[in-house]
Amino acid sequence: MMAILILVAGMAIGSFLGALSYRLPRGQTVMEGRSLCDHCKRKIAWQDNIPFFSYLFLGGRCRHCNRQISKRYPFIELSTGLIFLGIYFLLNNCSGELAQTLCNWKVSLKLLTLPFLLFVASVMITIFVIDLEQKLIPDELSLFGFLIVLVAAIFLASFFANVFAGFLVSVILLLIHLVTKGRGMGLGDVKLALFAGTFLGWPYALTWLFIAFLTGAAVGIILILAGRASFGKQIPFGPFLVFSFFITIVVGSNFLNLILK
């Protein structure tokens, strides 16, 4: 029952994140009015704005002009719902083996852990979408996320280790940014590292960077071989950092142990 509630809440918040990730980089506020159809600019009625299901029901088309509704909306809604469900499941089943980072937070934040984690996940999902579409990470998102994590971390026994981890990974990315003169790594990634690293703590922040570089390199090579990208043309790194963030939450330090053995 609780799981269904989390899934539905996730899809509703995903609907908000879909609008936020569209409007924030365009300088529009999320609060201004209702959603409009991209083509005919008509308002979308509430019954046609139910996350994911309206999209299925309307066959992916606007009720008025019959043109295609962007697939990004149902995709973000469903992904957010499933990620929320995954976090809920992991939080209830975390152990020394699985999702250790979530366990760390649970010990200190108790009942506040779930809302805190869902907030962090929401910021991460929004960063993923905006960087993928616009190749930028708004400071508002990464710095606001960092601030909330920093305040929550005060309750952690490992407060200093977490702050150190966040500092270390952002310095690593900053050095890459300086050495590659901004081509390899944006300053947005540096600030995102402060947010993610402080959340993950030590040594998980290192697992996180490692998986991000690994997946980034693998996908980059595939895209270049497939002729979809070239060297010099920038592939945003943020989506890999966010993807790796969620993977690190699941596998924790196990991945690092496996590599170091």
Binding site for Zn ion (CB under 5 A): 37, 39-40, 62, 64-65
Could you tell me which residues come within 8 angstroms of residue 59 by beta carbon, excluding any fewer than 6 positions away?
none
Residue number, 42 or 183, with CB nearest to Zn ion: 42
Name the minimum Å distance from CB 29 to Zn ion: 22
Dihedral, 198, 257, 236, 186 alpha carbons, nearest 10: 50
Name the minimum Å distance from CB 37 to Zn ion: 3
CA atoms of 211 and 181, how far apart (whole Å): 23
CA atoms of 166 and 169, how far apart (whole Å): 6
Element (DSSP H or E) covering residue 172: helix 159-179
The answer to whether 121 and 87 are in contact (CB under 8 A) is yes
Residue number, 71 or 110, with CB nearest to Zn ion: 71
Residue number, 65 or 147, with CB nearest to Zn ion: 65
Name the minimum Å distance from CB 35 to Zn ion: 11
68 phi and psi angles, rounded to 5 deg: -65, 135
Name the minimum Å distance from CB 197 to Zn ion: 43
Residue number, 42 or 228, with CB nearest to Zn ion: 42
Name the minimum Å distance from CB 54 to Zn ion: 13
Residue number, 67 or 110, with CB nearest to Zn ion: 67
CA atoms of 170 and 167, how far apart (whole Å): 5
